[in-house]
Structures are given as structure tokens and as C-alpha cells.
Chain A
Amino acid sequence: MLTKLLGGIVYDPMHGVKGKKRDIYIRDGRIVRKPGKNERIHKTIDVSNKVIMAGGIDIHTHIGGGKVNIARMMLPEDHQQDPVRTTAKTRAGSGYAAPSTLTTGYRYAEMGYTSCFEPAMLPVNARQAHMEMADTPIVDTGAYSLLGNDDFLLQLITKKKSQKLINDYVAWTMHASQAMAVKIVNPGGINAFKFNQRKLDLDDNNSFYNLSPRKILKVLARSLHELGVPHPLHVHGCNLGVPGNVHTTLDTIEAMAGLPIHLTHVQFHSYGTEGDRKFSSGAVHIAEALNKHKNISLDVGQIMFGQTVTASGDTMMQHSGSEHAHPNKWVCMDIECDAGCGVVPFRYRDKNFVNALQWCIGLEIFLLASDPWRIFLTTDHPNGAPFTMYPHLIRLLMDRSFRNDMLSTLNKSARAASVLDSIDREYSLYEIATMTRAAPARSLGLTDRGHLGINACADITVYNEHANKEIMFAQPEYVFKNGTLVVKNGKVINTPAGSTHTVKPDFDPGIEKHLKKYFDRYHTVKLGNFKISDDELLDYGRESLIVHPCVNN
């Protein structure tokens, strides 16, 4: 079956295509060359003057795994306000901040997104995370394994084991948990919290292992680099949410000495201590550092006003933030000598100085960063806001007068503390396509996604151009997943299963000798049962398992 998309205006940054009128041909789930004159085109869809981009890719969204499910269970009121009915094509469920898996898949697709990456999968909870993602229809999924607070790795580093052995362990974990990348959260700090430490700065020591976050970060960043995992170490740094943490973030960048890392939800790590309230924007410094250090990429973690829930592996910081829980209920968990989690509902208020400034800081970072290939659009769903706020966020970035109108309604002191109203920049459609498609695909090593070149996977979104970019991005006219039309006029019409993306670096299987001993001594599951096989993963109901190659560094 050959389908032609006729006359669309194409934005394909991977190929430098900036709003050119082009026809696109789809066959067997792939984008193909213009067919010969004698070839039959089975279906032509007229998309004249509509905007075409590859399907959106969310590089950081909490959609599956233990802490997300705790958030769902904890917040019936979140769902009661947003019930989702069964239709002829879709199943029932619920929104809003912690939506059901089924609803998550539909809403991403309806927004033109076709791939979502869960950034904080605890290896010991990986099976559940993958099972939840298997119940997230349409979109492709992948996950980053959480390391850096697990007792095994901390032991290896403390005992000064070789980088090679550590690399074997990291690679083994990626295989065992079917991961796409590796994330570190509050390096060593989640573990330190189990020993009652309440703060761990970059050069403080985890008291039990006598290890600093700096040391752990360097070892893990090097490991990912040496293994050739396309996405560099995904870093949720020390001191999340703490005023003054902009210095921690800048020190972290310096500490890497050129090693690639990705700084995630950096808005939460960009706070200064200036002003009467000892809370200020560090966005200028962060953007400067990003512009200068080409080894760094980041996603913003923009906040939006309203009720949401924060779900993080950072037990230490979530516990200290629990006093702000709204409504007043929260969960913290120490987890299985692997990591932890904290789930704290939160309402960001535009009249609140800190929240209003957080909103400004996120936007400042977006607008001051010069290279959209190294900054990705996220709200750290649901921590800053639910992912369904993306179209609103895109409008804020693309429409200065709208942005300034919104700004003018915020807390006055926060406005005074922000440079936002002096920034003229408006993102172009090309830049939006870069930061929501091409750049995340390149960062993750998805060579056939995020673009519209020949042989690319036919994950395609067709938008109606509209002066109001929020309307434009909220309701695409068509969305294709693997060449199948899944959304028409903003509504799901087909619900194929997505695929799971992984990266499986080589390792010396000798690591299992160390691990078996460790598991038998300390763990409560057997090594063999910890590992998720390919067959098992596919059994959950995925379309396919896609293994991306490593790169030579």
C-alpha cells in the first residue's frame, strides 16, 4: 500500500528543510522515494498548506513504573475531574496529572507525539514499568535505568574497581532491565538518605560509602561514553529545588571536563539566592554554560500553574519538600537497595513568588539557549505540569505578546526579578521541530525517527497552520504511526501497539559471577529472575523490540 501526502509544508531539521512544500510517500510503515510513473498510488491525502513534521518525541516523561502508579493510586480526585469514556476505538480511563496508561497513549498521539521515554526506571521495578508502558497504546516507549544510588555500584566505586568492570555492570543492567539509557538522580543522595543524611552537595560524602556525587557522576558519565550508548548520562543533579543550586549545576558541568551529559529538568536546578527573598533566577548562567559547553544538553522541566503531582526518585529532596504537599498527603519509599521514590502532589500558583519565578526561569532558559539541538521541550511530566500542557508551552515560546500578557498577570515581585519581559525571541516552527523531534531523536540514537528522510519510520504529524499555536499543536489534523493513520482531526481512530526501544552495549558476561554472589548474599530475588528477556518483554504486548546500536566514541 502506497500513500501520498500531497502538498504539505515540511519542517525537517535533520535535513535542513525549513517549511518547503513537498509530497511525502509512505509504504509499509516507511517513508519512501517518489514512486515511478507506473507505480500505483493507493491513497492520496491532500495536505496542501498544512504543516508536516515527524512525530513528536518526548525525551523525559514519567509515564510508567512504581512511583507513577503510586501517584495514580494516591490521587482519585485527580481522575474524578477528568473521566475518559470508552469509545468504539478507544478504552476508558482517566486523566489528568497522573493519567491512566491507556489515556496517556491516546493523549500523546492526539498531540502528535509518537515516542515517549520514561526517564526513571528502577532496574528492580523495570518489569512493572515495561508492563505499564505495554498498556500505553500507540506510542513507542523506552526507559532509562536508574543507577548511582544502588549499593552494588557504590561498592564497586568505593572498592576502586576498574572502570571496565563498572562498564560491564552498567551494560549488564541495561540488558537486564531492557533500557535505552541510564539516568542518575541525586548521585549517592538517595542512598545517603537511607543512612539519614538530609543533604548531599557535589563534594559532600555519602557517609557510608565515603563517596561524593562528583565522583559517582564522573564514573557513570565515563561509563556511558565508553560503552558508546548514544544518549549520554541523564543527570538529575544534587540539590533539586534548593535556592543556590545554580552553582551546583555549573560546578557539575565543569566537573565533567568535556564528558557528555544531559542535564534534565534543569529549571529545578537553576536557582540563585539573590534578592530580599533569597530566591532568584540562575537562567542566564545556565544558558551561558549551555551555549559554551557543547558536551552538554538539557531539557527544561517547565512548570505551569495549577494542580499536579511531583514523582521523583529523589527521596531525599522529595522528603524535604513534603511540607509543601498540596493536598497534604505524600509518599516516600526506600527501594530494594536500588534507589527510592517520593510522590508529592503540588499546586503551582501564579500569585506565589517562588512559583511565578520558576515559570519565568524555565522560559528564560528556553529563550536564552542558542542551540535548539541541545535543549528539549519538557515539563518533566507530571512534575512541572502534565504533558498535555505542551501546546500551551509552545505558544509561550512562539508568541512574545502572548507570553508577555501571561507574564503581566503573575506575582509582581517575581516579574521584577525576571528578565523575561526583555527577551524578544520567538521560536520558529523549525526550531520547535528541532527541539521536539530532530534533536531528541539524535540525542537518543533513534536514527530513523525524528525526521522525514527516505526510509525513516513513517511517524508523521500534520498540523493545520493557525495563528494561535496552542490550538495548532493541540489538535493535529493527521497523525501517522508506522504509516498507520492513528489520529484524524485530533481524535484517535486506530490504536496499534507501540514498540519498545533499547540499547544493548556489549559486556563481559563474567560480571554475572560478581552479581550472582551479590544477589545471593543481599538481594531478595534471584539474579535470573531479575533479568527481563526479550520474549518476556514482547509477551507484554509490544509491536516489536527495537535495539539501537552503540556508537564509537
Chain B
Amino acid sequence: MTSISASKLYKDIACPFCTLLCDDLSIRNDKDKLTVERHGCAKAIKNFERNEPKVNPTIHGENVSMDEAVNHAASILRSAKQPLFAGSSTDVEGSRELMALAEKSGAILDHVHGDAMMNNTLVLQNKGWIMTTLAELKNRADLVIFIGTDASSRYPRFFERLIWDQPSLAGLKKNARDIVYIGDGMDTRSGTSPDGTKPSHIKCNNKEINETVSVIRALLNKVDIQTDSIKPRRLTALKRLCERILSAKYGVIVWDAAEFPASDGDIIIQTISELIKELNKSSRFAGLSLGGNNGGTSFMNVCAWQSGYPMRVNYSEGYPYYDPYSYSTKKILQENASDALLWLSSFDTSLGIPRTDAPTIVLSRPAKRPAHEAEVYFPIGVPGIDHRGNLMRTDNVVSLPLKKLRDIKLESGSEILNKIRQAI
């Protein structure tokens, strides 16, 4: 048998490394070495083709058996008064196990992208919104306004798959989409249409976004604007944009909460959402929120269906108690309000483990120098590479199945979490 026939090609594979979950990748496995053959963006190639270092579970950096590590982790959680589960980067099954373990050990749950995701969710809980999904964007949107994000830097295939891809059910012509950027520091190259039409760009810095969107609302609502507080050129550009907004058949505003300032991201998102609601009194407009990488969307949904709350839930009193402000990882660690940290990271190897004096349990994709501070460390497999699973997409609607592509004997995060729970 030749080595080529020994290798195996997997088609229509879903990529778990950003929440677009592109599911058209072709990946070859040759002796458990993976190569992305089709439709891999740089992020996908880096992550699928990574050589995982061979590492063992450790306690204080010393190799131990899986059983010893499990028992040690269980003893940390058993004696902790207020454990914190952070990172929480995993698939649906991992999230379910994480919830069960949090309930059993009385932990607080947050996600590595909790600040950004909560800025969105606070708007949902305060005023609500009108949203759309990826296929609606691709098939219907004739005007797409990117606010504070260029989409392509963090979601590399966004334009290829959703903006310039043809055909469209609503009969949009190839170059017909009107692309507008609002913000600064954006890479707007992807917004140029196939026939070379350049997108419009209303430049303003991050701190001016809320004001800029508010001016759009005011103009559309025919509210007088203090013209001395806004540059004439910008006002002209915004007036022109309003005309395009009013003539659009199906407009979409795209944002990424992670790219807004954490301090007032919720305010900006609410202003955008209220603008969209106002527009829907007479025409159709919708929002598309990007975010929830590293399993964030999945974790938030599982947390919501099991507890009733999106995240930042504390089980220490025996029932889920929700506090979106106090239970941020950063805040808890700053205040030393936790006496054990469980960090779970299944996808992105560059996520930094927060520093704390509390004993730390780390479950992460194998790393050579895995979290030197971890009292207990478990190498875990990647959902969609080392084991099957499910992930949810950025639009909160589509879930995609993940496949096992190789067998390098890595246990899944959910299996290990389950063992720890049994051992408590």
C-alpha cells in the first residue's frame, strides 16, 4: 500500500476556529498529520495543521497518571468554597459537562470572551433587537454597514462566502451590494466589489461610534442636530448614507462586540439596535452580531438552556444565581473572590491563562509549557479534530456537527470533566 492510498481525505468539514463555522473544508489525514486541502483560511490552516506536542497530565509540572490528575482536581474543587470556571472554550458536549461540574462544585461560570458577549446580551436583556442570519445576509442584503469591524480581519472568509458569493435568492446582482464601513483602523479591501467598486468609509474613532450612529438616528427621525458639534464633511457623508439606508430593500448592520470598547460596548450596540428597530417601522433592516469564538456561542446557549442565564452564573448557593457584572473573570480574580480556578481551552492555543494565587486546574489543547502555574494540567483533544461534537454559529441559529479526523489518543474535555465530577 502506498502512503497516498493510506491517507484519507475528509470533505465538507466544519472548521471550529471561528464562529462562521465554514463547513466546506477538505482535510487530508496522512498518518494522523492533517493538511487543509481546500477552503482553509490562514486561521484554519494554522490550527488544523498544528503538530500537537506529546504531553501528559501533570501535577505541579510533574507527569502523573490520568487518575492521579483527576483525583487531585476533584480534591481542589471539593475543598474550594468558591471555584471559578473560566475560559470555558469548548463545544456543546463540553459545555454540558462543564455546567454539571459547576453545579456539583458550586462554581461561577464565565467565558473567555465574556466581556464582549455580555455587552451584546445586556442589550438583549434591556431592549431586544432585530437580527438576521448568514444565509439571509448572503441572499437578501443590498446594503451592508459594518460598524467598528471590518469582519474580515477576525472572520477571514466573511466576504468570500457571504458578500460576494453568487447567486442570491432575492436576485441580487453580482456587484449590486452597497458596502459601508463606519469606524477606524479597518481593512476595507474585502469590501471592494468584483467589478472594482470601492466601499464607502465613514471614518471615526471607536469613541465616536455611538455619537455617529446617534446622528444617523437623528437624521432619519428628522431631529435637529447641533451642526457645530459634528464635522461638516462627516455630516454630509452621514446624510448621504441616510439616503442609501432609506432606499435599501434589506439592509444589514454588522458589528463585533469584541471590537467595541468593553466599557461602553453595550451602549453602542443598543444605539445600533434601536436604529434598526426604528427603520423596521417602514422598511426592512436587521443586525448581525459577530462574536462568540472559542465555543462562546455554544457555551452561552447551553448555559441559557440549563440554567436560564447566558453565563456569569454562580452555583454556590445550590441554584443558579446570575450577576453579569460581578462575575466577570477579571473582576473575580482582581478581588480574590475565588479560591480555585478551572480553565478550559479547547481551540485557540494563544489564549492566556489568567494569573491567580488560587490553585488552578487547566484543561487545554496540548502545549509544551502548559501553564506553568497550573497545579493540575490535562491535555485535551480539539472538538472537530480529535473527537466528534457540535458547535453553534455566530448567528445563534445554526449548529454544525464536528467530526473526528485523527486519533492521537487525546481525551475530550467533556470526558475529563465527567471523570472529575464522578471523583468529587
Contact = CB atoms under 8 A, between A and B. Distances in A.
Interface of A: 64, 66, 68-70, 72-76, 78-80, 83-86, 91-94, 98-103, 122, 124-125, 127-128, 131-132, 135, 151, 193-196, 208, 319, 325, 328-338, 343, 521-526, 528-529, 536, 539
B156 interface: no
A524 B134 contact: yes
A331 B401 contact: no
Given A196-B284, A539-B388, A93 B307 contact: yes
Contacts of A331: 124, 128-131
A337 B23 contact: no
A336 B397 contact: yes
A72 B133 contact: no
B341 interface: no
B51 interface: no
25 contacts: A66-B397, A68-B305, A70-B124, A72-B305, A73-B125, A73-B304, A73-B309, A74-B124, A79-B309, A85-B319, A94-B307, A100-B305, A124-B397, A127-B390, A151-B169, A194-B140, A195-B249, A329-B124, A333-B131, A333-B132, A343-B128, A522-B135, A523-B135, A524-B135, A526-B24
B139 interface: yes
B152 interface: no
Nearest to A196: B284
A194 B284 contact: yes
Interface residues of B, number: 62
B170 interface: yes
Interface in B300-350: 300-301, 304-310, 315, 318-322
A101 B170 CA distance: 37
Contacts of B168: 522
A336 B133 contact: yes
A178 to B, nearest CB: 13
Contact of B305 (A69, A335, A523): A69
Contacts of B92: 131
Interface string B126-149: 111111111110111000000000
B12 A526 contact: yes
A66 to B, nearest CB: 6
A529 B305 contact: no
Contacts of B396: 66, 69-70
B250 interface: yes
A110 to B, nearest CB: 17
Q: Which 5 A-B pairs have the closest CB atoms?
A: A94-B308, A79-B308, A127-B399, A329-B128, A83-B319
B422 to A, nearest CB: 15
B216 interface: no
Given A86-B318, A94-B320, A522-B168, A72 B398 contact: no
A449 B165 CA distance: 49
Interface string B386-403: 001010100111111100
A93 B306 contact: yes
Given A73-B121, A131-B399, A334-B132, A524 B161 contact: yes
A536 B389 CA distance: 9
Contacts of A66: 396-397
A64 B100 CA distance: 19
Interface in B16-40: 23-24
Nearest to B402: A529
A503 B75 CA distance: 47
Nearest to B137: A524
B76 interface: no
Contacts of B322: 76, 79-80
A529 B23 contact: yes
Given A128-B399, A334-B136, A526-B24, A74 B130 contact: no
Contacts of A319: 130, 280
Interface of B: 12, 14, 23-24, 92, 96, 100, 103, 121, 124-136, 138-140, 161-162, 167-170, 249-250, 280, 283-284, 286, 300-301, 304-310, 315, 318-322, 388, 390, 392, 395-401
Nearest to A83: B319
A332 B130 contact: yes
B397 A122 contact: yes
Residue of B124, B169, B395 with highest tally of chain A CB at under 10 A: B169
A451 B373 CA distance: 61
A334 B286 contact: yes
Nearest to B396: A66
Contact of A92 (B124, B132, B169, B318): B318
Contact of A135 (B12, B250, B306, B395): B306
Given A100-B306, A100-B307, A336 B320 contact: no
Contacts of B162: 524
A98 B310 CA distance: 13
Nearest to B124: A74
Nearest to A531: B401
Contacts of B310: 73
A122 B136 CA distance: 15
A523 B137 CA distance: 11
Given A92-B318, A128-B399, 4 more contacts: A73-B125, A86-B318, A522-B167, A524-B134
A525 B128 contact: no
A76 B125 CA distance: 8
Contact of B308 (A99, A125, A335, A539): A99
A93 B103 CA distance: 10
A329 B126 contact: yes
Nearest to A345: B128
A101 B305 contact: yes
Given A72-B305, A522-B168, A337 B398 contact: no
A131 B167 contact: no
Nearest to A155: B169
A91 B100 contact: yes
Given A329-B128, A528-B12, A100 B308 contact: yes
Nearest to B284: A196
A521 B172 CA distance: 13
A395 B310 CA distance: 36
A319 B281 CA distance: 9
Nearest to A68: B305
Contacts of B392: 128
Contact of B103 (A91, A338, A528): A91
A132 B95 CA distance: 12
A96 B395 CA distance: 26
A64 B399 CA distance: 14
A195 to B, nearest CB: 7
Contacts of B249: 195-196
A76 B309 contact: yes
B320 A525 contact: no
Nearest to A132: B305
Nearest to A198: B282
Contacts of A76: 125, 308-309, 322
A124 B283 CA distance: 26
Contacts of B280: 319, 332
Given A66-B396, A91-B103, A74 B125 contact: yes
Given A69-B304, A528-B12, A83 B23 contact: no
Contacts of B121: 73
B251 to A, nearest CB: 11
A343 B392 CA distance: 20
